[in-house]
Amino acid sequence: MTKTIPTEFEVLDERFAAVGGDDVIEVLYTGTRWAEGPVYFPAGRFLVWSDIPNERMLRWDEMTGAVGPFRRPSGYVNGNTLDREGRLISCEHGNRRVTRTEHDGSITVIADRWEGKRLNSPNDVVVRSDGSVWFTDPPYGILSDYEGHAAEQEIDGCHVYRADPVTGEVRIVADDFNRPNGLAFSRDESLLYVADTKERHLRVFDVREDGTLAGGKVFAEGGADDIFDGMRLDDTGRIWAAAGKAVLCYDPDGTLIGRLKLPESTANLVFGGLKRNRMFITASTSLYSLMTNVTGARPVWAGR
Protein backbone atom coordinates (compact mmCIF):
# COMPACT_ATOMS: atom_id res chain seq x y z
CA MET A 1 0.00 0.00 0.00
CA THR A 2 1.30 3.43 -0.97
CA LYS A 3 2.26 5.65 1.94
CA THR A 4 0.56 9.05 2.10
CA ILE A 5 0.94 12.34 3.95
CA PRO A 6 -1.64 15.13 4.34
CA THR A 7 -1.76 17.73 1.58
CA GLU A 8 -1.02 21.20 2.88
CA PHE A 9 -1.65 24.13 0.56
CA GLU A 10 -0.97 27.61 1.92
CA VAL A 11 -2.99 30.36 0.25
CA LEU A 12 -1.10 33.67 0.16
CA ASP A 13 -3.26 35.43 -2.43
CA GLU A 14 -6.88 35.00 -3.48
CA ARG A 15 -5.68 33.94 -6.94
CA PHE A 16 -4.46 30.72 -5.35
CA ALA A 17 -7.68 29.97 -3.49
CA ALA A 18 -9.11 27.79 -6.26
CA VAL A 19 -5.98 25.61 -6.48
CA GLY A 20 -6.50 22.20 -4.93
CA GLY A 21 -6.14 18.48 -5.25
CA ASP A 22 -6.30 15.25 -3.31
CA ASP A 23 -6.33 15.46 0.47
CA VAL A 24 -3.19 13.36 0.61
CA ILE A 25 0.15 13.36 -1.19
CA GLU A 26 1.41 9.93 -2.23
CA VAL A 27 4.95 8.93 -1.33
CA LEU A 28 5.79 6.80 -4.35
CA TYR A 29 9.33 5.92 -3.29
CA THR A 30 11.75 6.60 -0.45
CA GLY A 31 15.41 5.65 -0.45
CA THR A 32 17.35 8.18 -2.51
CA ARG A 33 20.18 10.38 -1.27
CA TRP A 34 19.20 13.41 -3.37
CA ALA A 35 16.28 12.97 -5.73
CA GLU A 36 16.28 15.23 -8.80
CA GLY A 37 15.32 15.61 -12.46
CA PRO A 38 11.82 14.04 -12.77
CA VAL A 39 10.67 13.52 -16.36
CA TYR A 40 7.36 11.93 -17.39
CA PHE A 41 7.06 9.77 -20.53
CA PRO A 42 3.45 10.02 -21.77
CA ALA A 43 3.82 7.25 -24.34
CA GLY A 44 4.87 4.72 -21.72
CA ARG A 45 3.09 6.22 -18.72
CA PHE A 46 6.17 6.10 -16.55
CA LEU A 47 8.43 8.56 -14.77
CA VAL A 48 12.21 8.61 -14.60
CA TRP A 49 14.18 10.56 -12.01
CA SER A 50 17.74 10.93 -10.78
CA ASP A 51 19.42 9.94 -7.53
CA ILE A 52 22.58 11.95 -8.05
CA PRO A 53 24.92 10.81 -5.22
CA ASN A 54 24.06 7.15 -5.82
CA GLU A 55 24.83 7.64 -9.53
CA ARG A 56 21.63 6.04 -10.69
CA MET A 57 18.32 6.80 -12.36
CA LEU A 58 15.08 5.19 -11.25
CA ARG A 59 11.84 4.41 -13.07
CA TRP A 60 8.30 4.47 -11.62
CA ASP A 61 5.56 2.72 -13.59
CA GLU A 62 2.18 4.45 -13.46
CA MET A 63 0.23 1.32 -14.36
CA THR A 64 1.69 -0.93 -11.66
CA GLY A 65 3.29 1.45 -9.16
CA ALA A 66 6.51 -0.53 -9.41
CA VAL A 67 9.88 1.18 -9.02
CA GLY A 68 13.02 -0.21 -10.54
CA PRO A 69 16.38 0.80 -11.99
CA PHE A 70 16.49 2.80 -15.22
CA ARG A 71 20.23 3.41 -15.57
CA ARG A 72 23.28 2.71 -13.45
CA PRO A 73 25.89 4.08 -13.60
CA SER A 74 24.22 7.24 -14.80
CA GLY A 75 27.13 9.65 -15.03
CA TYR A 76 25.65 11.41 -12.00
CA VAL A 77 22.69 12.67 -14.01
CA ASN A 78 20.83 15.65 -12.57
CA GLY A 79 18.16 17.37 -14.70
CA ASN A 80 16.16 15.66 -17.44
CA THR A 81 13.59 16.57 -20.06
CA LEU A 82 12.13 15.26 -23.33
CA ASP A 83 12.70 16.63 -26.81
CA ARG A 84 10.18 16.89 -29.65
CA GLU A 85 10.62 13.21 -30.55
CA GLY A 86 10.15 11.96 -27.01
CA ARG A 87 13.86 11.30 -26.48
CA LEU A 88 15.46 11.76 -23.08
CA ILE A 89 17.75 14.77 -22.68
CA SER A 90 19.95 14.61 -19.56
CA CYS A 91 22.50 16.73 -17.71
CA GLU A 92 25.38 14.54 -16.56
CA HIS A 93 27.32 16.01 -13.63
CA GLY A 94 29.98 13.31 -13.68
CA ASN A 95 30.68 13.41 -17.41
CA ARG A 96 30.21 17.20 -17.55
CA ARG A 97 27.94 17.04 -20.54
CA VAL A 98 24.39 17.18 -21.91
CA THR A 99 23.27 14.04 -23.72
CA ARG A 100 20.37 12.59 -25.67
CA THR A 101 19.25 8.99 -25.30
CA GLU A 102 18.17 7.75 -28.72
CA HIS A 103 15.22 5.44 -29.22
CA ASP A 104 17.61 2.49 -29.58
CA GLY A 105 19.24 3.32 -26.23
CA SER A 106 22.45 4.77 -27.61
CA ILE A 107 23.80 8.03 -26.22
CA THR A 108 24.49 11.15 -28.28
CA VAL A 109 26.51 14.01 -26.81
CA ILE A 110 24.80 17.37 -27.36
CA ALA A 111 27.27 19.54 -25.48
CA ASP A 112 30.37 18.94 -23.38
CA ARG A 113 32.57 21.95 -24.15
CA TRP A 114 32.47 25.66 -24.81
CA GLU A 115 35.29 27.08 -26.91
CA GLY A 116 37.33 23.95 -26.21
CA LYS A 117 36.91 24.12 -22.45
CA ARG A 118 35.02 21.48 -20.50
CA LEU A 119 31.68 22.51 -19.06
CA ASN A 120 31.40 22.69 -15.27
CA SER A 121 28.57 20.24 -14.56
CA PRO A 122 25.32 20.81 -16.52
CA ASN A 123 22.42 20.98 -14.08
CA ASP A 124 19.02 21.48 -15.69
CA VAL A 125 17.77 21.55 -19.27
CA VAL A 126 14.84 22.54 -21.48
CA VAL A 127 14.16 22.11 -25.20
CA ARG A 128 12.55 24.82 -27.33
CA SER A 129 10.21 24.12 -30.25
CA ASP A 130 13.01 24.87 -32.75
CA GLY A 131 14.94 21.93 -31.29
CA SER A 132 17.52 24.07 -29.48
CA VAL A 133 18.67 22.76 -26.11
CA TRP A 134 19.09 25.28 -23.26
CA PHE A 135 20.90 24.37 -20.05
CA THR A 136 22.49 25.77 -16.90
CA ASP A 137 26.03 25.00 -15.80
CA PRO A 138 26.89 25.58 -12.11
CA PRO A 139 29.88 23.73 -10.58
CA TYR A 140 28.14 21.38 -8.13
CA GLY A 141 29.37 18.24 -9.85
CA ILE A 142 33.04 19.24 -9.69
CA LEU A 143 33.19 20.73 -6.18
CA SER A 144 33.61 17.25 -4.64
CA ASP A 145 33.11 13.57 -5.39
CA TYR A 146 29.61 13.58 -3.87
CA GLU A 147 27.64 14.55 -6.99
CA GLY A 148 30.31 13.90 -9.60
CA HIS A 149 34.08 14.09 -9.72
CA ALA A 150 36.16 16.76 -8.02
CA ALA A 151 37.93 18.77 -10.69
CA GLU A 152 39.19 22.21 -11.63
CA GLN A 153 36.77 24.62 -13.25
CA GLU A 154 37.92 25.34 -16.81
CA ILE A 155 35.36 28.02 -17.69
CA ASP A 156 35.42 31.34 -15.89
CA GLY A 157 31.93 31.53 -14.43
CA CYS A 158 28.64 29.67 -14.33
CA HIS A 159 26.45 30.40 -17.33
CA VAL A 160 23.29 29.60 -19.24
CA TYR A 161 23.91 27.98 -22.65
CA ARG A 162 22.08 27.23 -25.89
CA ALA A 163 23.02 24.33 -28.16
CA ASP A 164 21.98 24.88 -31.78
CA PRO A 165 19.92 22.01 -33.24
CA VAL A 166 21.46 22.33 -36.72
CA THR A 167 25.08 23.33 -36.26
CA GLY A 168 25.60 21.95 -32.77
CA GLU A 169 27.19 25.25 -31.75
CA VAL A 170 27.18 25.82 -27.99
CA ARG A 171 27.00 29.45 -26.98
CA ILE A 172 26.52 31.41 -23.79
CA VAL A 173 23.19 33.22 -23.66
CA ALA A 174 23.49 34.62 -20.10
CA ASP A 175 26.79 35.15 -18.30
CA ASP A 176 25.88 37.11 -15.16
CA PHE A 177 24.69 34.34 -12.85
CA ASN A 178 26.17 33.10 -9.60
CA ARG A 179 24.66 29.59 -9.54
CA PRO A 180 22.16 29.17 -12.40
CA ASN A 181 19.90 26.20 -11.78
CA GLY A 182 16.33 25.42 -12.86
CA LEU A 183 14.93 26.97 -16.02
CA ALA A 184 11.65 26.96 -17.95
CA PHE A 185 10.11 28.66 -20.97
CA SER A 186 6.81 30.50 -20.83
CA ARG A 187 3.95 28.84 -22.69
CA ASP A 188 4.61 30.80 -25.90
CA GLU A 189 8.40 30.54 -25.47
CA SER A 190 8.77 34.33 -25.46
CA LEU A 191 10.20 34.29 -21.94
CA LEU A 192 12.82 32.19 -20.17
CA TYR A 193 12.74 31.88 -16.38
CA VAL A 194 16.01 30.93 -14.65
CA ALA A 195 16.68 30.29 -10.98
CA ASP A 196 19.85 31.49 -9.30
CA THR A 197 20.18 29.27 -6.25
CA LYS A 198 22.97 31.22 -4.57
CA GLU A 199 21.21 34.58 -5.01
CA ARG A 200 17.85 33.11 -3.90
CA HIS A 201 15.86 34.58 -6.74
CA LEU A 202 14.24 33.86 -10.08
CA ARG A 203 15.02 35.93 -13.15
CA VAL A 204 13.12 36.34 -16.42
CA PHE A 205 14.50 37.03 -19.90
CA ASP A 206 12.94 37.93 -23.23
CA VAL A 207 13.76 35.32 -25.87
CA ARG A 208 14.61 36.81 -29.26
CA GLU A 209 13.93 35.07 -32.56
CA ASP A 210 17.65 34.59 -33.18
CA GLY A 211 18.02 32.54 -29.99
CA THR A 212 19.55 35.29 -27.87
CA LEU A 213 18.23 36.73 -24.63
CA ALA A 214 17.41 40.24 -23.49
CA GLY A 215 16.50 41.70 -20.12
CA GLY A 216 17.06 39.40 -17.18
CA LYS A 217 15.33 41.31 -14.42
CA VAL A 218 14.63 39.65 -11.08
CA PHE A 219 11.18 38.07 -11.33
CA ALA A 220 10.84 36.88 -7.74
CA GLU A 221 12.87 37.10 -4.54
CA GLY A 222 12.91 34.13 -2.20
CA GLY A 223 12.76 34.19 1.57
CA ALA A 224 15.38 32.93 4.00
CA ASP A 225 14.36 29.30 3.43
CA ASP A 226 13.63 29.57 -0.30
CA ILE A 227 16.60 28.01 -2.07
CA PHE A 228 15.31 27.88 -5.65
CA ASP A 229 15.93 24.78 -7.72
CA GLY A 230 13.80 23.32 -10.53
CA MET A 231 10.56 24.76 -11.91
CA ARG A 232 7.63 24.11 -14.27
CA LEU A 233 4.71 26.14 -15.62
CA ASP A 234 1.03 25.27 -15.67
CA ASP A 235 -1.34 26.04 -18.53
CA THR A 236 -2.36 29.38 -17.01
CA GLY A 237 1.24 30.59 -17.05
CA ARG A 238 1.81 30.27 -13.32
CA ILE A 239 5.33 29.28 -12.29
CA TRP A 240 5.76 26.41 -9.82
CA ALA A 241 9.23 26.38 -8.27
CA ALA A 242 10.87 23.90 -5.90
CA ALA A 243 12.34 25.89 -3.01
CA GLY A 244 13.12 24.70 0.49
CA LYS A 245 10.47 22.43 1.98
CA ALA A 246 7.80 23.57 -0.46
CA VAL A 247 6.76 24.08 -4.04
CA LEU A 248 6.09 27.80 -4.48
CA CYS A 249 3.50 29.11 -6.95
CA TYR A 250 3.97 32.48 -8.64
CA ASP A 251 1.51 34.43 -10.73
CA PRO A 252 2.94 35.58 -14.10
CA ASP A 253 3.20 39.07 -12.60
CA GLY A 254 5.77 37.78 -10.07
CA THR A 255 3.50 37.61 -7.02
CA LEU A 256 3.97 34.63 -4.72
CA ILE A 257 0.37 33.45 -4.42
CA GLY A 258 0.71 30.11 -2.64
CA ARG A 259 2.79 27.16 -1.65
CA LEU A 260 2.51 23.41 -1.34
CA LYS A 261 4.36 22.29 1.77
CA LEU A 262 6.51 19.15 1.89
CA PRO A 263 8.35 17.43 4.76
CA GLU A 264 11.69 17.39 2.90
CA SER A 265 13.78 19.82 0.88
CA THR A 266 12.41 19.90 -2.65
CA ALA A 267 14.58 19.78 -5.75
CA ASN A 268 12.36 19.64 -8.81
CA LEU A 269 8.92 18.80 -10.17
CA VAL A 270 7.06 17.86 -13.33
CA PHE A 271 3.44 17.57 -14.40
CA GLY A 272 2.40 14.21 -15.81
CA GLY A 273 -0.36 11.63 -15.97
CA LEU A 274 -3.00 11.25 -18.68
CA LYS A 275 -4.24 14.82 -18.24
CA ARG A 276 -0.96 16.44 -17.10
CA ASN A 277 -2.65 17.18 -13.77
CA ARG A 278 -0.53 14.93 -11.61
CA MET A 279 2.36 16.77 -9.97
CA PHE A 280 5.46 14.70 -9.31
CA ILE A 281 7.99 16.18 -6.88
CA THR A 282 11.51 15.03 -6.11
CA ALA A 283 12.57 15.97 -2.58
CA SER A 284 15.67 14.70 -0.79
CA THR A 285 15.01 11.00 -0.12
CA SER A 286 11.63 10.64 -1.81
CA LEU A 287 9.43 10.89 -4.89
CA TYR A 288 6.02 12.46 -4.17
CA SER A 289 2.86 12.66 -6.26
CA LEU A 290 -0.28 14.77 -5.97
CA MET A 291 -3.34 14.70 -8.23
CA THR A 292 -4.36 18.34 -8.64
CA ASN A 293 -6.92 20.53 -10.39
CA VAL A 294 -3.98 22.24 -12.14
CA THR A 295 -2.85 21.21 -15.63
CA GLY A 296 0.78 21.43 -16.63
CA ALA A 297 1.70 23.52 -19.65
CA ARG A 298 2.06 21.54 -22.86
CA PRO A 299 5.17 22.22 -24.98
CA VAL A 300 4.51 24.47 -27.95
CA TRP A 301 5.43 21.75 -30.44
CA ALA A 302 2.92 19.33 -28.90
CA GLY A 303 -0.06 21.56 -29.75
CA ARG A 304 -3.14 21.65 -27.53
End-to-end CA distance of the chain, in Å? 35
Give residues with Cβ within 8 angstroms of 30, minimum separation 6.
3, 285, 286, 287
Q: Which residues contact 222 (CB under 8 A, 6 or more apart)?
A: 200, 201, 202, 228, 243, 248
Mapped onto helix, strand or coil, the DSSP state of residue 214 is strand
Determine the Cα angle at 171 with ends 166 and 174, to 5°. 135
Instruction: Please report the pLDDT score of residue 2 as a whole number.
Output: 86
In degrees, rounded to 5, the angle at the alpha carbon of residue 251 between the alpha carbons of residues 174 and 235 is: 90
| Helix (H), strand (E), coil (C) string for 65-121 | CCEEEEECCCCCEEEEEECCCCCEEEEECCCCEEEEECCCCCEEEEECEECCEECCC
Give the global pTM.
0.97
What is the model's pLDDT at position 148?
98
Task: For 140, list phi and psi in degrees, rounded to 5.
Answer: -55, -35
Q: List the chain pLDDT tens, one digit each, 304 residues.
A: 789 999 999 999 999 999 999 999 999 999 999 999 999 999 999 999 999 999 999 999 999 999 999 999 999 999 999 999 999 999 999 999 999 999 999 999 999 999 999 999 999 999 999 999 999 999 999 999 999 999 999 999 999 999 999 999 999 999 999 999 999 999 999 999 999 999 999 999 999 999 999 999 999 999 888 999 999 999 999 999 999 999 999 999 999 999 999 999 999 999 999 999 999 999 999 999 999 999 999 877 665 5
